[in-house]
Amino acid sequence: MKRRIALALAMSMALSVAPMASFAASDNAVTKVVTIKADQTLENNAPVLKIENDGGDFGAKETIELELDNAEWLEQGKLSATVEGGAGTVAITRKSDSKVEIVADNIASGATIKVPLKVDVQDEGKSTVSISSKSGAITEGEYAFANVVDGGTMVTLEDTVTFGDSATIETLTIEESALGSIDVAELDYIKLELTDDFELDKDSIAFAGSLIADSSKIDVTQEDDNSIKLTFNAGALATNLTERGEIEISGLEVDTTKDSEEGTVYMTVRSNESSIKTIKLEVGKFTEYDVTVEADDDPVEIFSGRYQGTYGSTTDEAHELTQLNLTEEVLGSWTDGKTVTVEFPKEVKILNVVSSGDAIDDDSYDDNEFEFEITQNTVKDVALTFYVSVESGFEGDIKANIESRGLEKDYEVVLGKAVAPVKVETEVSKIKAGVRDQEIGKITITESEEESIKVGDIVIELDSDMEWDDEPTVEVVSGDLEIGDIEVDENILTITVDNESDDLSVIEITDGKVKVDRSIAEGEILAEIKGDALLENGYDKDSSDSKSKQLDEGKFSQDYYEKVQVANVITAADDDTTLVEPAKFVIGQKEYRVGDVTKTADVAPYIKDGRTMLSVRYVAESLGVEDNNIMWDGITRTVTIFKGDRIIQMEIGSNKLMVNGTAIMMDTAAEIKDGRTMLPVSFIAKALGIDIAWDGATRTVTIK
């Protein structure tokens, strides 16, 4: 890397009078930085200092001084300097323990002076070489070439083993932390000792590593059943290494005895050489039974309601769960000939199973269960990849429960996560029985990701006592999903999807007018969201199709994607759908108004993550709900509100809002602020059956 002389305060003046060619123009570098023990010699394969005349600015004769810090040059006879890559000659002279002088004659442009840094390093820290130029044509600077450390070694086992009778211990490595850390002249022996009541078998021992010169000169002695001694005779170890060395010991076996107890087994390493500190290493685990059952990777997301490919042979990744691995760590842990059952939740049906590893026998699957056997006598290792269909509306972990009389215990492994391909949101309106041309609230259908809505039909089927009065407005308000025909037939609205999206899309259905029969019941009105654009694995349970065939093919008898509340029927005789005076809440203000009356709450509305959060209690009170109909259970942290024929319950921290026993799933959870339960106003409105309006200019929510 090029380095330039900084001219400090004279820089600005020099730039105005001196051309760039007057700066020093050598490219200096050290080939490597070694880690070495203190008081060691760098000679063979030492780092090399390179000084390159890359700018062609050297004079006919250049004198260069190299000064060491935390190192001393070897004697003159061992020092050298050469020129490579072009013409020129160079001579090196040792001036003192720390200095040498280099005289370079006629070094060609592009040629490089190379100086091996043959030195004795000294104390812990960095060893550096500094370049000085008498003419100024050489870039001056200081360069580190060695990290000097106290020495020491790293003693490790490559891995641990699990065994039930005997096992080969993984390779033991004793590695220098710096060149010369192990004093080979001082190393007489290394002792290896296992935990009591386990035997150490040396019959297959082998040695490797750069510090081993001749393994035949290492004596291996069995001192006790659980310990051996390695004696290093003359010539066994290598000398004059040019890089950090290591000793590798392999082929050792651990055997159990009648007194062995289940648990972790350790090996203690000792030596007479001070750099090899006594250390206790974990060899592995002794157990009579051990089977590992785990997922190969993190759970994958699977869309609920989807069905692609062919039953019994599909390998479509849209249905593929994370691989399930079942591995017998100890021979005999997995009893031969016993049936293993893998069971998923009832909302999950198996489309196909692909196995790898050991062969399995008598495998079969039915709905959400897969069964198989293994009868071979070797250690068993089975990998299973499941392809599944998930029932519409099911969200959350897809868990596999593994049971067998041949296993020591049952296992539960999460292989996937069911997610909804689209989210349906509605604004609930109040309507009257026996009246036509009444408007229902906006319905919003949002994709979870691009292509979530398929080519086909989206169907919105109202209550049988309601009919669409006319076609509502249907628009794609975000993304590039393409829709075609819009058709209304009595209580059914059909939206045709012509092309799937490349960008996540949102459909809004507004201006929906309905006619309501007089016989309709008061209370919540639900609509079924269905159609093959949203739901692919459902079928009409009342159709002539064979139910058994449909179930065998991984389909479900639920023929709708989701049920959502679109309206609330109030008493037909009540011409005034507003039960109390409108209430107005302003963001950040504790004062609110109900009609012309100003009241004060002890917590102000606020906005969180783009949602307007209001106190449930003050909203309910503004609608005429009496205080004794608003109850708090401190044990279950649940708020219960009685409003007319409605019973509303919400639990702090839960995203489930219960209205007359029916769950409304929220995309947020109830929270407490200043002692009050807070919810987004949209969900409060849905629970209490009220209308809301938002004025962005005044940041005001109006409730009526």
| CATH number of domain containing 444 | 2.60.40
Among candidate residues 106, 104, 102, 43, the one with its CA nearest the CA of residue 72: 43
Kindly state whether residues 230 and 270 are assigned to the same domain. Answer: yes
Q: Are 297 and 325 contained in the same domain?
A: yes
Instruction: Report if residue 576 sits inside a domain.
Output: no
281 lies in the same domain as 303: no
Per-residue pLDDT at 427 exceeds 80? yes
Domain assignment of residue 427, yes or no: yes
pLDDT band, very low/low/confident/very high, at 18 (cuts 50, 70, 90): very low
Instruction: Show which of 386, 401, 419 is a domain's final residue.
Output: 419
- Mean pLDDT for 86-105 is 95
Structural domain range at position 35: 8-149
**Cα-based angle 395, 685, 586 (whole degrees, multiple of 5):** 120
Residues 246 and 300 in one domain: no
pLDDT digits (tens, 9 = 90+) for 467-494: 998 899 999 999 999 999 999 999 999 9
pLDDT tens-digit readout, 121-174: 999 899 999 999 988 889 999 999 989 888 888 888 988 888 877 889 999 999
Residue 406 within any structural domain of the chain: yes
684 pLDDT above the threshold of 90: no
Indicate whether 411 and 436 sit together in one domain. Answer: no
Count of the separate structural domains present in the chain = 5
Q: Is residue 613 situated within a structural domain? A: yes
Least confident of 14-23, 213-222, 658-667: 14-23
Is 139 found in the same domain as 164? Answer: no
Domain end residue (candidates: 391, 419, 447): 419
Using CA atoms of 282, 286, 291, 293 in order, give the dihedral in degrees to the nearest 10: -20
CATH of the domain at 385: 2.60.40.740
Within a domain: 3: no
Last residue of a domain, one of 261, 286, 311: 286
Q: Are residues 267 and 318 in the same domain?
A: no
pTM across the whole model: 0.50
Q: Is the pLDDT of residue 419 over 90?
A: yes
CA distance 578 to 96: 102
User: Within a domain: residue 594?
Assistant: yes
* Reported confidence tier of residue 407, pLDDT bands at 50, 70, 90: confident
Contact 671, 678 (CB under 8 A): yes
Q: Each residue of 253-287: b (16+ CB within 10 Å) or e?
A: bbbbeeebeeeebebebebebebbeebebebbbbe
Shared-domain flag, residues 349 and 441: no
Q: Are residues 493 and 366 in the same domain?
A: no
Both 628 and 656 in one domain: the answer is yes
- pLDDT over threshold 90, residue 111: yes
Tell me the average pLDDT of the chain. Answer: 86
| Out of 157-166, 203-212, 273-282, least confident range | 157-166
Residue 578 within a domain:
no
Which amino acid, residue 611? R
pLDDT band at 39 (very low <50, low <70, confident <90, very high): confident
Instruction: Report the alpha-carbon distance of residue 470 to residue 466 in Å, rounded.
Output: 12
Q: Looking at the domain assignment, is residue 17 inside a domain? A: yes
What's phi and psi for 551, nearest 5 deg? -65, -40
> How far is CA 573 from each of CA 32, 75, 228, 693, rounded to the nearest angstrom?
93, 114, 98, 25
**Any idea what the CATH number is for the domain that residue 643 is in?**
3.30.457.10
CATH number for the domain that contains residue 44: 2.60.40.10
pLDDT band of 376, cuts 50, 70, 90: low
Do 529 and 595 lie in one domain? The reply is no
User: Per-residue pLDDT averaged across 170-199, rounded?
Assistant: 92
Q: Say which range, 95-99, 273-277, 358-362, 376-380, has the weakest mean pLDDT.
A: 376-380
Residue 299 and residue 371 in one domain: yes
- The confidence score (pLDDT) of residue 6 equals 33
